[in-house]
Structure 1
Amino acid sequence: MDFEKPGFPPESSSIAIVALTRHGADLALQLQGKLPGSACYVPVRHQFALAMGAVGFQRMADLLREIWPRVSALVCIMATGIVVRQISPYLRHKKEDPAVVVLDERGEYVISLVSGHLGGANRLTKEVARITGGHAVITTASDVQDKPALDLMARAAGLEIENIEMLSRLARAFLEDEPVWIYDPEGRLKRDLASQGNIDWLHEVLSSPPSLMSTLMERVGVWVSEALVPAFLKCLVLRPRNLVVGIGCNRGTPAQEIMEWLQRVFAREKLSPLSIRNLVSVDLKSDEAGIIETAAMLQRPVHFYSRKEIENITVPNPSTQVAKHIGVQSVCEATALLSAGSQTLIVPKQKTFNVTLAIARVGYPL
């Protein structure tokens, strides 16, 4: 594909502004100047725009094929029908698709078209409308009815959505004022949802009386916890990243062995690996491929503490063997406690021949 500007596509751009007409190109250049991280794309015939920093393209279909997987947002200054037809082959899922915003070349109507919440199209629509002085057109029901947007709340609260397919079911429940239960022992959503009158806030689930259990099974709910969800409940699951996993291992232990033990411990303790915030170990293991690869497999960071930093951490299961070999009484328990800023472990040291593992919980609020 041939472009009229060297170095395409701009690696630093996260918003692509695409225009077709001359007036659209004028507006695209104005938006580029006011939207950080944006790049402007226009047909090559608009030489004036190329001279001002725009990237030229021959065919919009070729352009979209090139930039769709690279950008987080697409602002299209053209008819909505054109955009719908052009992007339809690339649409996958709202958790993957970039935000798509459409506006006319006068900037009078700015439409949130795709990925309104998770992708940020609604927010971008409002920003573009503010710049152009136009009207933001948002049709997302929760926005129109001023109802909770759980996906946005989850993101703001640092919660990971485990079963995104349940979002629409919970959105419907809030729109129709259907009774909903929420298990959120740390109150991560309490402030944002305090005004909603259709919520039963639960402090316990498994120890609830039979009458309440029967009610819970009939309703949908929201589960905000690192604990696994009882199989009989139908709910949106939001995972806080609040668990620190301390790891020790013999030299050369493969990642697969570490991962298998981690998964076994988490399953036994009824904890979700999605709630892992980070892995941690001692600095002597900073080049241990098994630990580094395990962190990569989990898509979580790993931190290594020096022996001096952990030598005075009190642990429930000190080891004379560890002290003999590396000079401190504990690796997995001590590093987990230090990283989590906690004095207690929710899972004390669990060991196999090659791997030791302990889990601490990060307090909330931080």
Structure 2
Amino acid sequence: MIGVFAGPADRGDAADLAGLLGPDAVVPDGPVKIAASNLWSRLDAAVFFLDAGSVVRLIAPLVRGKDSDPAVVCVDRRFAVALAGDAAALTRQVADALNLAPVVTGGPSVDSVLDDLAEQLDARVEGDVAACVEAIEAGEKVVLRNPLSFPLPALPPNVVADGENATWVIVVDDRAAAAKKNVLRIVPRTLVVGVGSTRGASATSIGAALSELDAQGGLDLRAIKAFATLDAKADEPGIVDAVEDWGFWHGDTADLLTFPTEELAEIGVPNPSSVVRNSMGTASVAEAAALRGARQIGGGAPVELAAEKFKRDKVTVAAARVLPRGRLALVGLGPGPAEERTPRAEAEIRRAAFVVGTPEAIEAVTPILRSGTEIRHGGATELAASGAAVAFVAFGAGPTLDLPVNADVIVVPGVGDG
């Protein structure tokens, strides 16, 4: 949601601007301070028809941190000013719409790129982010290792895939690794852990079995997205408590997915058990539940068994991985002017490693591209199918393509598109 805030004298201009910003923009009723306070936690961006000093004083009690606060732009006399957050693109859009001069201190910072990357991958970050960012911004060589081939946004040219004498290493992986100096780990939540246990198994014993996924399976437990088991185990106290304990220790929550016996019985696993089949009606609980849960949360993405079952203290656990696949954003640019692009469209363009379109469409979006973005005039589907993050841009109602089989496809129409 984009909040456009204005006093009575500017509400007409605010309404006109909201119309140009698209359906996500609203002009709240009532006093600006009260309206902003009520909506703050729900906003992706905020535009204030107030001078910069007044906006700073107004939002000061509301800000909590860059991970949660909206981008803030103020319309101040003859200027549109990027005041807080990643507001550069929106500032230029507001300036174009209102025929003002944009005031932007610079492009997106490296730390915002890393923040975006962590958000896109639903990832946890381990390491000294500030020091890594400082090295990148200083132009030092930084190696990026991405062994599972996650679709990543454009990164500065000094962030390279391999090489020696790097001052920092960034690793994007869900597998366990010892903490090392000058290594920044980004841990995507890709794993579903299947759990089977005897009746009455304790949360402690289930937690001990989970630790085997780290110690023997080589998986980072922070990468767990969900747990899965049989329907009959949905209210098993030990399993329920173990899931809650995981959330407590990792500062997060994970769903407990449950499936009927007949569904799990149909899933092929590497380690079926005749004993489990005779007692439960399925040859596998942990491995089958993990694979079935991964398919559910993967939304069509391929899955694999990341760790075969481990048994400990009458508890069995296994883990399945949702494999990454490419991302293709079909972005409509509207009739042409920058104000016809929605903030969501610009966000998709900036998160792509490859931007594909006609020379005219590429020229229109060049001011908002991140450093390191590769420009192409064709091959969008092939790039996405190979695992890349791609934005295909076109004027009017937006591009249409033969969609790739192995890619997530996002359609973002421009303002005024059907």
1:162 aligns with 2:125: yes
Query: Tell me, what secondary structure is at the counterpart of 2:308?
Result: strand
Q: Which ranges of structure 1 fall in alignment gaps of 5 or more residues?
A: 1-13, 42-54, 203-211
The 8 Å contact of residues 153 and 189 in structure 1, kept in 2 or not, is answered as no
2:72 corresponds to = 100
The 8 Å contact of residues 181 and 222 in structure 1, kept in 2 or not, is answered as yes
Cα 1:124–1:354, aligned 2, differ >3 Å: closer, same or farther?
farther
Greater length-normalized contact order (CA 8 Å, ≥ 6 residues apart)? 2
The 2-side partners of 1:311 and 1:162 are apart by: 37
Report deviation, 1:160.
1.6
The 1-side partners of 2:232 and 2:283 are apart by: 14
The 1-side partners of 2:157 and 2:16 are apart by: 41
Structure 2 residue identity aligned to 1:228: A
Q: 2:15 aligns with which of 24, 29, 34?
A: 29
Q: 2:318 aligns with which of 347, 350, 358?
A: 358
The 1-side partners of 2:201 and 2:44 are apart by: 39
Q: How does 1:200-211 map to 2 (within 5 A)?
A: 200-201=161-162
The 8 Å contact of residues 223 and 229 in structure 1, kept in 2 or not, is answered as no
1:304 corresponds to = 258
Moved more, 306-315 or 88-97: 306-315
The 8 Å contact of residues 124 and 222 in structure 2, kept in 1 or not, is answered as no
The 8 Å contact of residues 143 and 169 in structure 2, kept in 1 or not, is answered as yes
Report deviation, 1:263.
4.6
The 2-side partners of 1:188 and 1:90 are apart by: 35
1:149 aligns with 2:103: no
**TM-score normalised to the size of structure 2?**
0.63
Aligned residues: 313
1:56 aligns with 2:30: yes
Q: How does 1:230-269 map to 2 (within 5 A)?
A: 230-251=178-199, 258-259=206-207, 261-263=209-211, 265-266=213-214, 269=217
The 1-side partners of 2:196 and 2:289 are apart by: 10
Q: Which ranges of structure 2 fall in alignment gaps of 5 or more residues?
A: 296-301, 326-405, 407-418
Q: How does 1:1-366 map to 2 (within 5 A)?
A: 14-20=1-7, 22=9, 24-33=10-19, 34-41=21-28, 55-57=29-31, 60=33, 62-104=34-76, 108-116=78-86, 121-142=87-108, 149-156=113-120, 158-163=121-126, 166=129, 168-188=130-150, 192-193=154-155, 196-197=157-158, 199-201=160-162, 215=165, 219-251=167-199, 258-259=206-207, 261-263=209-211, 265-266=213-214, 269-288=217-236, 291=239, 297=247, 298-340=252-294, 345-353=305-313, 355-365=315-325
**TM-score normalised to the size of structure 1?**
0.71
Cα 1:164–1:261, aligned 2, differ >3 Å: closer, same or farther?
same
The 2-side partners of 1:99 and 1:165 are apart by: 25
Q: Percent identity?
A: 29
Q: 1:203-247, CA deviations, whole angstroms, 9 ceiling, x for partnerless residues?
A: xxxxxxxxx6xx45xx12211111234322323322223222112
Report deviation, 1:94.
0.8
The 8 Å contact of residues 180 and 198 in structure 1, kept in 2 or not, is answered as yes
The 2-side partners of 1:74 and 1:253 are apart by: 51
Cα 1:234–1:127, aligned 2, differ >3 Å: closer, same or farther?
same
The 2-side partners of 1:357 and 1:314 are apart by: 16
